[in-house]
Copies of this chain bind each other. A is one copy, B any other.
Amino acid sequence: MNILAIGAHPDDIELGCGGTLLKAARSGVNVFMYIVTRGSSAGSVVKRSNEIISSAKYIGAKAIWIDDYEDSAVYLTKELINSIEFFIRKTQADVIYTHPIKDNHHDHRAICEATVEAGRFTPNIFAYENPSTKNFAPVLYSDISDVILEKIRLIELYGSQKSKVFLSSNSVKAVAEHRAIQTRLDPKLTHVEAFEVLKMMMNTDHTLLPTRRLAEDLKPSRDIIEYIS
> How many copies of this kind of chain does the complex include?
6
A70 on interface, CB distance cutoff 8 Å:
yes
B141 touches A201 (CB 8 A): yes
B1 touches A206 (CB 8 A): yes
What size tier do the contact residues of chain A reach?
35 or more
A157 on interface, CB distance cutoff 8 Å:
no
- Taken together as a complex, chains A and B put the C-alpha atoms of A160 and B123 apart, in Å, by 27
A228 on interface, CB distance cutoff 8 Å:
no
- Taken together as a complex, chains A and B put the C-alpha atoms of A121 and B185 apart, in Å, by 5
> Residues of A with Cβ closer than 8 Å to B?
1, 20, 23-24, 26-27, 29, 70, 72-73, 75-78, 81, 95, 104-106, 113, 116-117, 120-121, 123, 131-132, 134-135, 137, 139-143, 165-166, 170-171, 173-175, 177-178, 181-187, 197-209, 212
